[in-house]
Amino acid sequence: MTKVLVIEDEAQTRDMFLDSLEIEGFEAIGAENGVIGVQKALENLPDLVLCDIMMPELDGYGVLSTLRQHSLTAMIPFIFLTAKSTKAELRQGMDLGADDYLTKPSTVEELLAAIATRLKKQADLKEYYTTQFPEVSVSAAFQTAKSLNSELIFPADFHLNQVFEYIEANYRQPISLHDVALAAGYCPAYLTDLVRRHTGQTVNHWIVQRRMAAARTLLLEGNLCVNQIAETVGYQHEGHFFRQFRQHHGTTPQAWRKAQRIQHN
């Protein structure tokens, strides 16, 4: 049974969420403040955490920061519950590693939809890594995923969430500026200007950054050949991957792997 931890200091709101989740077949766990919430997260290892921001004892940001520092809870999907969501709040939460926000009051349908989306993304991530590394345990596969996420590749900017989410979901495919623009609902020229204004970089830059992060992890965590890694992270030609890796790291993938392993041994 899927476990969802609800950390909310308002008893009425907490009980409403817990009742709704139980009706839908979830194992719902409640916590009345952040300190208790962290304790219950470590004890129960829920599949997802819903957490209010403004709470006594320990606020939502403190809860998220604490959970992200524990290896057992670092990869648990985390959704903030907030009565307001300013740009500063969104940025602070995303910088800490939040997966989504729900503005209170939220309907049961909105709650369940947000949970379903996050659980699906987690399941897809698990399936991908266990498929790519069938000899590796599930926990090790999630450690690989954690190492990718911890690189904080994309800047936290809610104007570009849809752009970065599309790149994250599709960087293993041969995507281009036109593909990203179509998915985001912009023309390529407008999207190029938007991304440059907000990040100082191009769309292609962020596609390459994501692929390079994945390539570094694969070079460190497994024994795949360079051509296999190139294909896995979205390159149709090994030579293209080789040139871009060298541009970003000043050396070849093989030499980088060897240097890192010597450094960590």
* Helix (H), strand (E) at residue 15: helix 11-23
Of the residues 103, 122, 141, the one at which a domain ends: 122
Mean pLDDT confidence for 13-24: 92
* The predicted structure's pLDDT at residue 150: 40
Of the residues 75, 102, 122, the one at which a domain ends: 122
Q: What angle do CA 135, 173, 244 make, to 5 degrees?
A: 90
Q: How confident is the model at residue 220 (pLDDT cuts 50, 70, 90)?
A: confident
For 146-173, write each residue's pLDDT tens digit.
444 444 678 877 788 889 888 988 888 8
Domain CATH for 189: 1.10.10.60
Quote the CA–CA distance of 33 and 10 in Å, as a whole number.
Answer: 9
| Residues facing 80 on adjacent strands | 51, 101
Based on C-alpha coordinates, what's the Rg of the chain?
20
Domain CATH for 10: 3.40.50.2300
pLDDT of 130 above 60: no
| Encoded tokens for 119 | 């659980």
Query: 161 and 66 in one domain?
Result: no
**3-class DSSP string for 58-105:** CCHHHHHHHHHHCCCCCCCCEEEEECCCCHHHHHHHHHHCCCEEEECC
Give the other-Cβ count within 10 Å of 103's Cβ: 12
Alpha-carbon separation of residue 92 from 135, 187, 233 (angstroms): 37, 30, 29
Quote the CA–CA distance of 52 and 233 in Å, as a whole number.
Answer: 36
User: What beta strand segments (E) does the chain contain?
Assistant: 3-7, 27-31, 48-52, 78-82, 100-103
pLDDT of 41 above 70: yes
Query: 157 and 88 in one domain?
Result: no
* The predicted structure's pLDDT at residue 96: 63
pLDDT over 90 for what percent of the chain? 35
pLDDT over 70 for what percent of the chain? 82
Quote the CA–CA distance of 75 and 68 in Å, as a whole number.
Answer: 7
pLDDT of 177 above 90: yes
* The predicted structure's pLDDT at residue 202: 93
Domain-located, residue 143: no
Mean residue pLDDT of the chain comes to 82
Domain containing residue 232:
151-264
178 and 167 in contact (C-beta within 8 Å)?
Answer: no
Query: 250 and 161 in one domain?
Result: yes
Query: 155 and 113 in one domain?
Result: no
* The predicted structure's pLDDT at residue 119: 86
pLDDT of 132 above 70: no
Which of 44-58, 79-93, 105-119, 217-231 is predicted most confidently? 44-58
Maximal CA-CA distance, the chain: 59
Query: 118 and 167 in one domain?
Result: no
pLDDT of 207 above 90: yes
Match 């995507």 to its residue by tokens: 175
pTM: 0.53
Beta-carbon contacts of residue 177 (< 8 Å; ≥ 6 apart): 188, 191, 192, 202, 203, 204
Give the other-Cβ count within 10 Å of 21's Cβ: 24
